Amino acid sequence: MFKNQYLNDVFNGLCARNAHEKEFLQAVEEFLESIDLVIDQYPNIQKYGIIERIVEPERLVSFRVPWVDDSGKVQVNRGFRCQFNSAIGPYKGGCRFHPSVNQSIVKFLGFEQIFKNSLTTLPMGGAKGGADFNPAGRSDNEIMRFCHSFMAELFRHIGADIDVPAGDIGIGAREIGFLNGFYRKIRNEWTGTITGKGLTFGGSLARKEATGFGLCYFVEEMLKVMKNDSFKAKKVVISGAGNVAIYAAYKANELGGKVIAMNDSKGYIYDESGIDIDYVRVLKEEKRVSLDQYLVKYPKAQYGTVRTDIWKIKCDIALPCATQNELDLESAKVLVSNKVIVVAEGANMPTTLDATKYLQEKGVLFAPGKAANAGGVATSGLEMSQNSMRLSWSFEEVDKKLKDIMINIFENAYKASEKCGYKGNLVLGANIAGFLKVCEAMIAQGVI
């Protein structure tokens, strides 16, 4: 599979031990394909067993989460925290509440988080966690009871200088409030251990917008450097309707693009005249209803019940911002036939490996999630800094720092791709640039 036999041996062993963890193995395979191109230049990687160590989490915790629903029935879910690598700083990464959450999912997310956090240049290690709980349709009291039970175990494994969780799919401001409140109560301390908090209790301005804004800052810089182009007059299709998608849509429009389609788990909307993002935000953040309700106000818009059909809509820029493996090879071929210019990942690994390779082969500018969607964790890092200093920065200050970080991430990934002879391959560049920093730290600290 790989040219380097050492990488083959490590990966084959990993597959044998984790055969059922397809998402995790997919993430490792993509990473090793990049390292395969440069490993001969760095003999210390094999000498110090860096690959064997970096593909194994430092700690993986699984626990039951019992809670009582509104009818008085006891429910039990499964919770996880995967603390993957802390070589460059305390573990940092989100938690998600979704029925799909399992050990493979949290390991893949935690593994990706190592390199994403490294690319931000902030001192943060990689972790991820969550539970197979679905908050959809649950009352506020049910969600509070679940969050309290989840934190009753998680608190043992986190701390401001140990592991700092944040939100992800299924964990928004409401859930963060419940989690943070219970942590504060049982630890009897206020240390900013959780990020994504409300502004009244230590949160950072621009955190909600950060991943979506950061994605667009990355794409804008990529277009500028690699195409001498910009968002201006570009038609944009965005999958998802959560924070990432909504605020990517706001920023894409602000930069001169026109968002014409978005989707959620039930289907997609297409509005050739441009999506009303304010109304989408109201539907999803305030009313918490399906996007089919968009047609109530805009009956001339189109609605489709097959959410993946969104990739059939002709566009210049495609931003998959929903979940893993949502954009497959068939969809990639349709995008290419429709002359897409850019595909940039706002979600974690939303593009399958074969689709990624196809897009790159066809000359589409491709931005991998570990680089392009790092704005959220970067701003979480800025929230950690503000909490430590007991300060609060303005929206403009945080947004400027975010933009500078995203431009720097692009430059580092682009330079790394150029240095190893694959100029413009940002998948390779992001993997190598993120990895080498962690690798150096691991070697310096010995075999631990």
Three-class secondary structure assignment of 157-193: HCECCCEEEECCCCCCHHHHHHHHHHHHHHHCCCCCC
Given a contact cutoff of 8 angstroms between Cβ atoms, the answer to whether 239 and 326 are in contact is yes
Q: Buried b / exposed e across 161-185, counting CB within 10 Å, b at 16+?
A: eebbbbbbbbbbbebbbbbbbbbbe
Q: What is the DSSP string of 211-224?
A: HHHHHHHHHHHHHH
Helix (H) or strand (E) holding 46: helix 44-47
Q: Count CB neighbours of 110 within 10 A.
A: 28
Q: Please state, in angstroms and rounded to a whole number, the distance separating the CA atoms of residues 246 and 239.
A: 10
Tokens of 396: 């403009």
Q: Please state, in angstroms and rounded to a whole number, the distance separating the CA atoms of residues 212 and 73.
A: 39
Q: Count CB neighbours of 300 within 10 A.
A: 8
Active site residues per annotation: 128
Angle made by CA atoms 439, 443, 448, in degrees to the nearest 5: 105
Nearest to 290 by CA among 277, 303, 272, 309: 303
Beta bridge partners of 366: 343
Tokens of 154: 């998680």
Q: What secondary structure letter does DSSP report for 350?
A: -
CA atoms within 13 A on the CB side of 323: 15
Residues in the chain, overall count:
448
